[in-house]
Amino acid sequence: MLASFRYNDGCVIARSAEAKALGIGMGAAYYKVRDEMRRQGVIARSSNYTLYADISNRVMRIMADMLPSIEVYSIDEAWGDMSGVADPAGLGRSIRERLAREIGMPVGVGISTTKTLAKLRVSEFLCNRLMSDTVAPNRRHHEQDATSHHRRAAGSAPGQLPES
């Protein structure tokens, strides 16, 4: 079980699924949850933004190398254009495998016809803890525009605990 803190000010900014299940809230002040964390064996760590940015840059470079184009959305998310990709799910698995092999970073990959639906695939995937599967599939019954040939991949990159 792990909780991470912003700078050294003691606000929780990331939690493992186990820490969340104990009721440790996002943004909670460390001094308010410290005793319970210690009783439950939760490990507290300060964040390392320099390392986080370095890992993010490496993840984005690999995604840029593997996809026709990417749009970096934030430090830990990017949209990949999969237009014309014959096997989007296969490419999603390849992205996950390469990132795990070269960086040691697990990521979620959601594939759909829009950014919003791709992001929903990733969120659903992570919430259900289906990390043994490799990609969150494009499920037609959720699609607003199932006839679109434009596919997007959403990647959750460095340090993203199954949280959001």
Could you list the active site residues?
77
Residue 158, amino acid: P
∠ CA 102-108-112 to the nearest 5 degrees? 125
Give dist(CA 86, CA 71) in Å, integer. Answer: 20
Element at 10 (helix H, strand E)? none
- Amino acid at position 134, single letter: T
Assign residue 44 a region: left if phi > 0, alpha if psi is -120 to 50, beta otherwise? beta
No. of H helices and E strands in the chain? 5, 7
